[in-house]
Amino acid sequence: LMSTELKRKMKSNASKQSTTKNPYKAVQCDPDSEYITPGVFELEKLFWRGSGAAYTHVNEVWPSVYIGDEKTALERHNLEKTGITHTLNAAEGKWNNVATGPDYYHGMNIDYYGVEAEDIPTFNLSQFFYPAAQFIDHALSKPESKLLVHCVMGRSRSATLFLAYLMIYKNMTVVEAIEHVKERRCILPNRGFLKQLWIKTMSVLQKSIEEQDERRLTN
């Protein structure tokens, strides 16, 4: 038989585990929903299976949306040839980034938006999720537009911002967004960026729950 003291310790440990916030743990916010939000570690594992696309300088990941690298962003002639009308530089700046800008594309009829972001896990890229998503949505509101989203490698910063766009404007879950893009480009957001996307998902789910609760109370 289990001693009373052992039972007490097990109960205490279970209580501690249930109240500890672990971003790597899968979480189901809404008990009425079958969707379970994977933890950050599970999101990382999605990339272990590889990509449906070989790594190249640039790939079309959505109709009229291309994710590319520094080389792609600097080739003015090819951008004109492709018909790029908008550029989102997720690595703006001179040091270890892509030093383009509105002046670089002068005379090309390209709308430019730059984000000064570092590709390190501690950088708060989420502060740019909504502004970047709004720029992307505005660009795609015109059928003739073509958008290049890029950073240095076209794998982490630029990919993260486009994933956030899919979550915000296309109502995709973080898993759906990742699966869609990685089948079309070899991407690999760093762990910190994945955590920020995970937090974004959790906030959306929480808002949905609150809205459902409000509707239940008013009905």
Q: How confident is the model at residue 4 (pLDDT cuts 50, 70, 90)?
A: low
Q: What is the pLDDT of residue 96?
A: 75
Burial of 179 (0-12, 13-18, 19+ CB in 10 A): middle
Report the pLDDT averaged over residues 161-185: 95
Are 115 and 109 in contact by the 8 Å Cβ rule? The answer is no
Global confidence as pTM: 0.77
Instruction: Select from 101, 160, 169 the least CA-distant residue to 133.
Output: 169
Are 68 and 59 in contact by the 8 Å Cβ rule? The answer is yes
Place of tokens 């609760």: 213
Candidates 151, 152, 161, 187; catalytic one: 151
Q: How confident is the model at residue 47 (pLDDT cuts 50, 70, 90)?
A: confident
Model pLDDT for residues 128-159, shown as the tens digit of each residue: 999 999 999 999 999 999 999 999 999 999 99
> Is 151 one of the catalytic residues?
yes
Specify the fold of 34-210: Protein-Tyrosine Phosphatase; Chain A (3.90.190)
What angle is formed at CA 112 by the lines to CA 89 and CA 180, rounded to 5 degrees? 50
